[in-house]
Amino acid sequence: MRLLLRLAPLILLLAGCATGPTGPREGVAPDAAPAYRALDAGNYQRAASLFERLAGESQPPQRQDYRISAVEALLRADLIPQAAQLLARIDPVGMDARGHARMQLAEARIALKRRDAEDALAILAGQHTPSSEPELLADYHQLRGLAYQQLGNHLEAAREWVMREPFLARTEAVLANQRAIWDSLTQLSAPVLLALQTAPPDVLSGWMDLVRIGKSLHTAPQLQAQLANWQRLFPQHPVQDVLLQELRLRSQESMAPPTKIAVLLPFTGDFAGAAAAVRDGVLAAHYADPNRVGIVLRSYDTGGNAGQANAAYEQAMADGAEFIIGPLTKEAVDAIASRWSLPIPTMALNVGERRGPDNFYQFGLVPEDEAEQVAERAWIDGMTRAAIVAPTGPWGSRLAEAFESRWREFGGEVVAMASYDAQKNDFSGPLRQLLAVDASDRRHRQLAATLGQRLEFTPRRRQDVDFVFMAGFPRQVRLLKPQLNFHHATDLPVYSTSHLFSGTVTPHLDRDMDGVVFGDMPWVLEGLQPAALKQHDGQMRRLVALGSDAYKVIPYLRLLKRYPEERFEGGTGTLRMDGDNRLRRSIAWARFNAGRPRALVETTPDSAGR
């Protein structure tokens, strides 16, 4: 379901892709009428069968036209192999420009259905679409936009849909197209949108500026002033009034900042250090807030068990808290979520086993979420066959399972898995198993024994893997990556989560991780931590960011809940809310180079970042 929600705009656009004429048709032969009626009724398999029968009874070029219609019907039925097989049987000799264009679009659509966006773009590069066919031109730009969206290049996707709009005739189609433009551009941060804008009155630039306005929290008068200035800069912009009205309504969904905020954290016990980092993040965000006057923060110790967490919650209510940040540990989160009702909106700083009441939100740095996003990133980068190496124990198993589950959702294949003892220094055994180097050695020994002589031999790794998902912490990955290289896998891409990076740039220690792609929060990658909080190094720095975002996102919670496509740009990543009131992070991406993490730019036409 999470995958479907993430891909919802793409699915809706694919569903809206025209695959041939619909509705009343002029000049349709009487024997073809049943096929078109079946198509209009949504009985696509029957329509395909009828069109194919008509093709068998017709002569070129009518035969080719009916056969293309059959292919289009099969695509609507999601019968991709059958559509591809039938398309390959069509002889293009003698076809007019329209027929060639329909074949091209069908071939590109098949590539997209197979999630091969690069192939789709290559197919569409040789454009055959007649300039006099607005419906086919609309399809052409739509498919190119979908291809860029599959690649994670949201800017280029929006650009294609802007170019598509002049070829749309129906008002509802224009509105759906504009929503797609909006949804695509909301994936970019406000600073990126501002940096990429060109001078007015460029239509795409106008969309980017409008989305940037929508990403900022405004009072109604502030928003009205911003929109008035925007309309002055882009007086002829084609945006539909309904979208502007929705933007105005959304500005009213933000919560008034609460005046009494309780912070529930385990200040004593095993998690006291983590609690201090989160608290300092909350305080830093509070003191940087220009509207902090009148807002009172009060901290409560949840200790180390569920009973203390409940007692702290009761005390916060008795003291008149209007909003609660915390608790932090899973046990405490589940204890609060188990209550029948919560009279005070509460944002837990971890993800427990329970959903909780309606005004209970969960926001945590969940390792499994990062592993799933590694799968998404690798898929966007064109990988299809994965190898997984993770430490033994619950943590490693959770990451490996989360990655594998999401990877298989995309249709990826896991060709090898291995686990290692995180306490050791020599990981050659698991890596040789992962890369099938032992099998290469066995073949060498068997051949030498058969021939009865020594043979010159260079071990070879397996060739049926595109990349490695490597789960581990800094000490392990600093050892794993060079050992992977030693076993003839220097050219094999490696992807990982934020856990491999200590949070502190140490080139002399991290040089052996060069080439590894990993996801982390912008706060860490961009060095956003205030100087006053530099005492929190390494992993604790991420908890400071968690506390900071927890405070800053409070006014946006209602907006994020009502509009799942909305995003909040935080230090921990780009936040959205799912149907379980859980804030989910989209992390940033980097690659180690000369021992330093270098951010991967994801806004250029050639990039594939999410």
Q: Which of 54, 32, 36 is nearest to 44 (CA)?
A: 36
Which CATH code of 3.20.20.240, 3.40.50.150, 3.40.50.2300, 3.30.565.10 fits the domain covering 368-521+591-599?
3.40.50.2300
Q: What is the largest CA-CA distance in the chain?
A: 89
Task: Report the CATH superfamily, name and number, of domain 260-363+530-586.
Answer: Response regulator (3.40.50.2300)
C-alpha span between 610 and 600 (Å, rounded): 11
C-alpha span between 591 and 513 (Å, rounded): 9
* Chain-centre distance for alpha carbon 406: 12
For range 278-282, the mean pLDDT: 95
| Residue 447 reports pLDDT greater than 80 | no
For range 118-142, the mean pLDDT: 86
DSSP per residue over 445-506, as a string? HHHHHHHTS---------SS-SEEEE---HHHHHHHHHHHIIIIITTS-EEE-GGGS-SS--
> Residue 165's CB: how many other CB atoms inside 10 A?
16
In this structure, which amino acid lies at residue 187? Q
SS3 category, 568: strand
Instruction: Say what the pLDDT of residue 530 is.
Output: 64
C-alpha span between 158 and 211 (Å, rounded): 12
| Residue 312 reports pLDDT greater than 90 | yes
> Residue 349's CB: how many other CB atoms inside 10 A?
29
* Report field, pTM of the whole predicted structure over 0.85: no
Tokens of 150: 């599959």
C-alpha span between 378 and 520 (Å, rounded): 15
Indicate the pairing of strand 360-363 with strand 582-586. Answer: parallel
| pLDDT tens sequence across 575-610 | 999 999 999 999 999 999 999 999 886 533 333 333
In this structure, which amino acid lies at residue 338? S
Instruction: Say what the pLDDT of residue 6 is.
Output: 40
| pLDDT tens sequence across 75-123 | 999 999 999 999 999 998 888 888 999 999 999 999 999 889 999 999 9
Q: What Å distances lie between residue 588 and 193, 216, 515, 522, 550, CA to CA?
A: 16, 20, 16, 6, 19
Instruction: Say what the pLDDT of residue 396 is.
Output: 97
- Any idea which residue has 């385990």 for tokens? 266
Asked if 391 contacts 420 with a C-beta cutoff of 8 angstroms, the reply is: yes
Per the prediction, the chain carries an average pLDDT of: 86
Instruction: Say what the pLDDT of residue 317 is.
Output: 95
pLDDT level of residue 5 (50, 70, 90 thresholds): very low
Please give the share of the chain, as a percent, with pLDDT higher than 70: 86
Instruction: Say what the pLDDT of residue 454 is.
Output: 63
Domain 2-185 indexed as CATH 1.10.10.60: no
C-alpha span between 90 and 571 (Å, rounded): 54
| pLDDT tens sequence across 493-512 | 999 999 999 988 999 999 99
Instruction: Say what the pLDDT of residue 526 is.
Output: 81
Instruction: Say what the pLDDT of residue 455 is.
Output: 43
* Strand intervals (E) in 195-244: none
Q: What Å distances lie between residue 391 and 371, 421, 486, CA to CA?
A: 14, 6, 20
| Residue 385 reports pLDDT greater than 90 | yes
195: left (phi over 0), alpha (psi -120 to 50) or beta: alpha
Where in the chain are all domains bearing CATH 1.25.40.10? 2-185
Asked if 598 contacts 518 with a C-beta cutoff of 8 angstroms, the reply is: no
C-alpha span between 610 and 245 (Å, rounded): 28
C-alpha span between 206 and 269 (Å, rounded): 53
| Residue 516 reports pLDDT greater than 90 | yes
For range 2-17, the mean pLDDT: 41
Q: Which of 23-32, 47-56, 159-168, 321-330 has the lowest mean pLDDT?
A: 23-32
SS3 category, 258: coil
| Residue 16 reports pLDDT greater than 70 | no
Where in the chain are all domains bearing CATH 3.40.50.2300? 260-363+530-586, 368-521+591-599
Burial class (CB in 10 A: 0-12, 13-18, 19+), 184: buried
In this structure, which amino acid lies at residue 269? G
- Any idea which residue has 């946006």 for tokens? 556
Tokens of 466: 């595109």
